[in-house]
Structure formats: structure tokens, C-alpha cells
Amino acid sequence: MNTPEQWRYEQSRMGRCIYLLLDSDGKRQERDALVAELGNERFREVYLGTPAHSLASAGPYLFQIDQVNHPVVLALIKVLEPDWGWLASGSDSDLDTLTQHWRDRLVTGEPPNQALYRFHDNRVLGRALAVLQPEDYSGYLGPMASVCYWQTEQWKVTDNPAPGTHPLPAEPAWLNIPTPQATYAAVQFDNTRRYLMRQHTEPLAGLAEQQNIDVWLRTQLDLARTWEWQEPDAIYFLLTQSLRAPGYAPPASWQPKPNETPAQHFARLYQEALYWQGEEPV
């Protein structure tokens, strides 16, 4: 048996329920099939009732799975690049407790510099568990007794030494883990591509008739890194303006000026774009 199969049977043998944390993005067919089959009592939209409430339908869903060999779970495990979420085990009465646990850990930082912690991304989960000390597992995993996830080309299992309800630490250790540049770039590419596919479908379709979308997107993200544009607003601006530009690329005049900081560079181009759109004087 492979690792997920061994893990599922072991959790079932110990009388634990299997849970699936599924990223809706790219897996809506599987999500909708589970919602229809399991009913409202067996799933939760994790973002509901949180600052990300408006994204709930496109965000992660937590499912309580009765069957060890559920067809949808088996199909997900066979995906060549299984970045759809992860599996967990726990008590069969923990669905609301598990959901609230992750809702409490969703938003990081203080206003106005808050961000969403993508715990449902197996890469984020795996990176945290690879660095955390065992004594930090319980505060991170909460009521989950064990998790099974894909990380760095293989399936991994991490057991929680003290599953239960744990308060959110004042300084969560998992938020102090540096993201490797290659991992950050891969996650940024995936998330950006999904966003453009959802929100800018028509211009992206026009681009696809002339260029490879993935090559174009990597080129734009590389350009943003060269310019040291890290803020989401700046990257969004670069991508959306490039989608409208001739040849789907920013003009040569967009290069930074000597001694111009990244912030000044972005502000200048943003004001110029507003001017040419007739929205604001330079």
C-alpha cells in the first residue's frame, strides 16, 4: 500500500474520522460532487464568518469523509501534482471545532498590513511542519490527530502529540518561517494564474491566441522581481496593464529612471496610466 492508503487504514483502525481540506480553486467539480453527496452536516466553507467571507465559495472547504476509500479522495491522490489540499484525521464530532481552529489562524498581521495565511495549501502546511518543533504541533494542528500531505515530491505524515483545542499563541511559530524563494515563486505563479483565469478571462484568451500564457506570466513576474515590485497592487498593475498593451508587454518607457526607488517607479507609472485613461492629472 502507498502512504495515503496506509495512513487512511491506520486512522480508521484507531477509530478516527477522515477529513479532507480541499482548495476549491481548480477542484470545483470534486468539491461540488462532495457537497451534493455529503450534505450540509458533513462540510464547512472555512472562510465563512471571517474577513475573507466574500471569498468563501472560492476558498477551502473542510469535508468529513465516512469512507476510507472514498472515490473522490482516491482520484485526488492519483493527481500528478497533488496541490489540492491535504487529509487529516480526528474525532467524528470535530467538524465545527476543526473549522473554527483554522478560522482563528486565517488572518495574520495587524491592520493595515494583514494577510491571509494559506493553511489549506499543502506546500504551506508541509513547510511549517518541516520546521516547527514537536511541541509546536498541537498549537498548529489543534484537534487534528494526524495529517497526510504531499510535500517535495512525496507523501508525508505528521502526528499531533496532543490533539485538542489549543489557543492561538501570541507569536505563532509557523508565521516566522522564511519562505524559500523557489517555493514562493511557484506559489505566486499558481495563485496569479488562477486569479487571471477567473477575473481576466477575455484578455487572457486573446493572449493565448498569440503566446503561451505560462511563459508570458513567468516573464511578467520576473520583470516585477527585477524592478523589486513586491506589493500585490504593483504586480496587479503590471499584469493588467501588460494584458492591454500592444504585444502584451509594457513599453520600453516603463523602465525605472536612475536613482528611482521601486515605490517611486510604481507611483510614476501608475499616475501616468491614470492620466492616459483620463482619470487624473499627472
CA 67 to CA 23: how far, in whole Å? 20
Residue-wise pLDDT for 4-61, tens only, equals 999 999 999 999 999 999 998 888 999 999 999 999 999 999 999 998 888 888 889 9
> Is the separation of the CB atoms in 147 and 88 below 8 Å?
yes
Quickly state the pLDDT bin for 278 (edges 50, 70, 90). low
- pTM score of the predicted model: 0.67
Q: Give the DSSP letter of residue 169.
A: P
pLDDT at 2: 72
Which residues are 59's β-sheet partners? none
> H-type helices in the chain, by residue range?
3-13, 28-38, 71-77, 95-103, 122-131, 137-141, 181-199, 201-208, 213-226, 232-244, 262-276
Average pLDDT, the chain: 88
Instruction: Report domain extents, the chain.
Output: 3-175, 181-276
The residue-averaged pLDDT of 237-249 equals 91
Residue 60: strand, helix, or coil: strand
Quickly state the pLDDT bin for 282 (edges 50, 70, 90). very low
